[in-house]
């Protein structure tokens, strides 16, 4: 299984150049850019600097993280979403990055699950039509928080299935799968090609509704049943990339090199039982 590095893991103690340098050094296959980091990089660099880097590197761009809170928007608010997405598409296209992750908005009071579904389908189709012009695919990342409009695996899968486009899939993030109480049985029934992005991580042991992104820990160091998830992925013949994505402030106090190296070793140790 190929391994990617998500910049969230060193979000507060690193930058694009540093992450690329060490992710390349420690043998990652891919990098997932956090837009906050990429936007600050582009304030002092030209996109051609990245194109040059990737022309000589082994590591390649995998996705842009993320178009946040794209759904349940109307009028000018949705126009802004479309403009942000198109700007991301231009960046992605320039560096030959094929995937943009899209993240659902918080729930709105008195909005039914059916409305959330229909609205997501409509918005995704509009965005995917824009992405098509740039050869960019969309990966829908449900967030497991109760306050998020799309917060579990089956709900997200149902939406992307209804959209039914080759350029639309989902993100399976182990942390969000776990805290959203997603059902492992649902994972067994899906088309593995629809998992565009697989975020690997683990979690501290706390009540589900107390967990936040900062409670993510290295794969294997927490209580998420990663063995179960990986064995199901193997059984359905998932053939994608595992990207390590944490937001833990403790690891942000490490040197970027130490964190990027540890992330690779911890991820490999967990997946090697199931994938080469």
Min. distance of Cβ 175 from Zn ion in angstroms?
7
Any alpha helices (H) in the chain, and if so which ranges?
16-25, 35-44, 47-56, 75-94, 113-132, 153-163, 174-179, 184-188, 226-235, 249-252, 256-271
How many residues of this chain bind Zn ion (CB under 5 A)?
A: 3
Q: Torsion-angle region of residue 168: left (phi > 0), alpha (psi -120 to 50) or beta?
A: beta
For residues 68 and 158, which CB has a smaller minimum distance to Zn ion in the complex? 68
Which of 41/177 has CB closer to Zn ion?
Answer: 177
C-alpha distance across the termini of the chain, in Å: 6
User: Quick one: 256 exposed, middle or buried, by C-beta within 10 A (0-12, 13-18, 19+)?
Assistant: buried
Piece in contact with Zn ion (CB under 5 A), picked from 18-26, 53-61, 171-179, 229-237 = 171-179
Of 112, 109, 119, 110, give the one whose Cα is nearest residue 140.
119
Would you say 78 or 178 has its CB closer to Zn ion? 178
Gap between the Cα atoms of 162 and 169, Å rounded: 11
Decide whether 63 or 120 has the Cβ nearer to Zn ion: 63
Shortest distance, CB of residue 235 to Zn ion, whole angstroms? 23
- Which of 21, 199, 216, 266 touches Zn ion by CB under 5 A? 199
Q: Is 266 in the site for Zn ion (CB under 5 A)?
A: no
The nearest distance, CB 110 to Zn ion, in angstroms, is 28
Q: For Zn ion, which stretch binds (CB under 5 A), given 17-25, 194-202, 226-234, 259-267?
A: 194-202
The DSSP call for residue 171 is: E
Binding span for Zn ion by CB under 5 A among 46-54, 104-112, 124-132, 169-177:
169-177
Taking phi over 0 as left and psi of -120 to 50 as alpha, with beta for the rest, 20 belongs to alpha
Helix axes of 75-94 and 47-56: crossing angle, nearest 10 degrees: 40
Footprint on residues 50-89 left by Zn ion (CB under 5 A): none
- Beta-bridged to residue 195, according to DSSP, are 170
Cα(53)–Cα(46) distance, integer angstroms:
12
Interacting span for Zn ion (CB under 5 A) from 45-53, 157-165, 229-237, 238-246: 238-246
User: Residue 173 interacts with Zn ion (CB under 5 A)?
Assistant: yes
Contact between 202 and Zn ion (CB under 5 A)?
A: no
Which residues of this chain interact with Zn ion, rule CB under 5 A?
Answer: 173, 199, 245
């Amino acid at each position: 299984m190929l391994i990617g590095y998500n910049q969230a893991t060193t979000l507060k103690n690193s930058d694009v150049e540093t992450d690329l340098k060490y992710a390349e050094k420690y043998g990652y296959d891919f990098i997932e850019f956090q837009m906050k980091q990429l936007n600050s990089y582009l304030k002092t660099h030209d996109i051609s600097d990245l194109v040059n880097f990737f022309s000589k590197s082994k590591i390649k761009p995998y996705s842009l993280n993320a178009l946040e809170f794209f759904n349940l928007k109307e009028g000018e608010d949705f126009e802004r979403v479309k403009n942000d997405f198109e700007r991301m598409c231009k960046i992605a296209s320039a560096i030959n990055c094929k995937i943009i992750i899209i993240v659902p908005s918080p729930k709105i009071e008195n909005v039914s699950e059916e409305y959330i579904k229909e609205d997501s389908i409509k918005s995704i189709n509009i965005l995917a039509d824009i992405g098509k012009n740039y050869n960019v695919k969309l990966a829908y990342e449900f967030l497991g928080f109760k306050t998020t409009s799309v917060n579990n695996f089956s709900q997200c899968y149902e939406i992307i299935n209804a959209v039914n486009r080759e350029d639309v899939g989902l993100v399976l993030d182990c942390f969000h799968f776990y805290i959203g109480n997603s059902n492992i049985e649902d994972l067994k029934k899906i088309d593995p090609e629809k998992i565009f992005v697989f975020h690997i991580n683990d979690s501290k042991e706390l009540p589900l509704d107390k967990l936040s992104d900062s409670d993510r820990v290295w794969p294997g160091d927490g209580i998420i049943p990663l063995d179960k998830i990986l064995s199901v992925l193997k059984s359905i013949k998932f053939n994608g990339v595992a990207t390590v994505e944490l937001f833990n402030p403790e690891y942000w106090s490490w040197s970027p090199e130490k964190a990027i190296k540890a992330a690779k070793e911890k991820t490999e140790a967990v997946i090697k039982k199931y994938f080469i």
